[in-house]
């Protein structure tokens, strides 16, 4: 036994660098920072108090005032940015509340920028929450399709109205063709050439958005989103989609969902070398929450591992419902 032990003269012993916490910390390749985090918030015109989303424990639909308070608290935790979703009291076939000057998101942006001027306010630019049918664009009922170019016109109006309200970054999530270039032109013409575009560039038609649609009340009333969101089987197409957005002027690109698409996060970061965001979506949140509430997973350990995996795969920015918790955990 002692003979065979002495025969083992390994030059490379990777375990040497894992011996103590300090050494492990020194050679750690990827770290999550609070400055990477973006907190999504749902702001509803329909609720009179902060209301829980049943499939996303710990996530709420906020009133405007509660949302402002949440932003102040998030900023104190060290979260640098929020991503706003609006739930209007009235929906119609033109998504008119998506671009109304006094729409819920427009009012929220102004109130949040007033209360916490340094917090970066990002708005999700989409029509689904504002359309009576829940699709991300104008529906041609006779042909049974979502019209691209007509929808882009409304999406541009929404983005410009968010900029006018004071948004720092607009984040189009609709997946219509040509929307990034159209939004860039619209913003520039309206005098908002400094407003950043974070494009949901590789956004897949995913079943992992289920809980979000409860939170945002945005489930399509008929059909699905397969004619505009991407087929989960397509990787080369995700790179082409991202390339179009980059060419049209996206400042930040995004891969969404996160966990099942880490391969694409890596490829998008490698290929375009732009600030790259990942959306840790509602279904990813719900599954870890549910398992940890059952005592089957350690929530904090799993979430920190997940955030580190996003960084390792190339994410610069992480949109996550855990943003406040992660920012606090990183400080402890
Ligand atoms: C709006 C939008 C969706 C999400 C972000 N923006 C839903 C959808 O496309 O159906 C999903 C976010 C999540 O699941 O956390 N189009």
The CATH number given to whatever domain includes residue 327 is: 3.20.20.70
CA of 82 to the centre of ligand 1 (A): 15
Calpha distance 26→23 (Å, rounded): 5
Indicate the DSSP class of residue 120. E
Residue 22 belongs to a domain: no
Q: What DSSP string runs through 252-294? A: EEEEESSGGGHHHHHHHHHHH-S-EEEEE-HHHHHHHHHHHHT
The total number of structural domains that make up the chain: 1
Catalytic site includes residue 76: no
Calpha distance 109→116 (Å, rounded): 10
Residue 95 belongs to a domain: yes
Residue 159 belongs to a domain: yes
Tell whether the model's pLDDT for residue 306 goes beyond 60. Answer: yes
pLDDT tens-place string over residues 173-190: 999 999 999 999 999 999
Catalytic site includes residue 157: no
pTM of the model: 0.96
Domain interval for residue 94? 31-331
Residue 146 belongs to a domain: yes
Calpha distance 318→311 (Å, rounded): 8
pLDDT tens-place string over residues 119-130: 999 999 999 999
Q: Under DSSP, is residue 197 helix (H, G, I), strand (E, B) or coil? A: strand
Which is catalytic among the residues 91, 157, 256, 269?
A: 256
Note the helical H segments in the chain. 2-7, 21-26, 64-77, 104-115, 148-165, 179-189, 210-216, 236-248, 262-272, 282-293, 299-312, 323-331
pLDDT tens-place string over residues 317-326: 999 999 999 9
Q: Under DSSP, is residue 92 helix (H, G, I), strand (E, B) or coil? A: strand
Q: Provide the token pair at 188.
A: 């520039």
As beta bridge partners, residue 315 has: none
The closest residue, in CA terms, to atom 8 on ligand 1 is: 209
């Amino acid at each position: 036994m002692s003979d065979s032990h002495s025969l083992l003269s390994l030059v490379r012993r990777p375990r040497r660098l894992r011996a103590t916490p300090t050494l492990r910390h020194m050679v750690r390749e990827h770290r999550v920072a609070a400055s990477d985090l973006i907190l999504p918030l749902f702001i509803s015109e329909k609720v009179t108090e902060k209301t829980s989303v049943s499939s996303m424990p710990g996530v709420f639909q906020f009133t405007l005032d509660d949302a402002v308070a949440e932003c102040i608290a998030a900023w104190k935790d060290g979260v640098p940015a929020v991503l706003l979703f609006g739930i209007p009291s009235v929906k119609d076939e033109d998504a008119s509340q998506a671009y109304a000057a006094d729409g819920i998101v427009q009012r929220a942006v102004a109130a949040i920028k007033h209360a916490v001027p340094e917090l970066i306010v990002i708005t999700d630019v989409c029509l689904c929450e504002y359309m009576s049918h829940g699709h991300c664009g104008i529906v041609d009922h006779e042909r049974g399709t979502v019209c691209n170019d007509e929808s882009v016109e409304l999406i541009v109006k929404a983005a410009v109205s968010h900029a006018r309200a004071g948004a720092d970054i607009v984040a189009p999530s609709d997946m219509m063709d040509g929307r990034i270039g159209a939004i860039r032109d619209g913003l520039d013409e309206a005098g908002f050439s400094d407003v950043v575009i974070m494009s949901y560039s590789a956004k897949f038609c995913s079943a992992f958005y289920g809980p979000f649609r409860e939170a945002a009340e945005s489930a399509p009333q008929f059909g699905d989103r397969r004619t505009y969101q991407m087929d989960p089987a397509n990787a080369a197409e995700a790179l082409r989609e991202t390339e179009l957005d980059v060419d049209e002027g996206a400042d930040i690109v995004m891969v969404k969902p996160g966990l099942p698409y880490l391969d694409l996060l890596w490829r998008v970061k490698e290929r375009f070398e732009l600030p790259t965001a990942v959306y840790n979506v509602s279904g990813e949140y719900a599954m870890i929450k549910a398992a940890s509430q059952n005592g089957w997973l350690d929530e904090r350990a799993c979430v920190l591992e997940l955030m580190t995996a996003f960084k390792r795969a190339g994410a610069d920015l992480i949109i996550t419902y855990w943003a406040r918790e992660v920012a606090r955990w990183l400080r402890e």
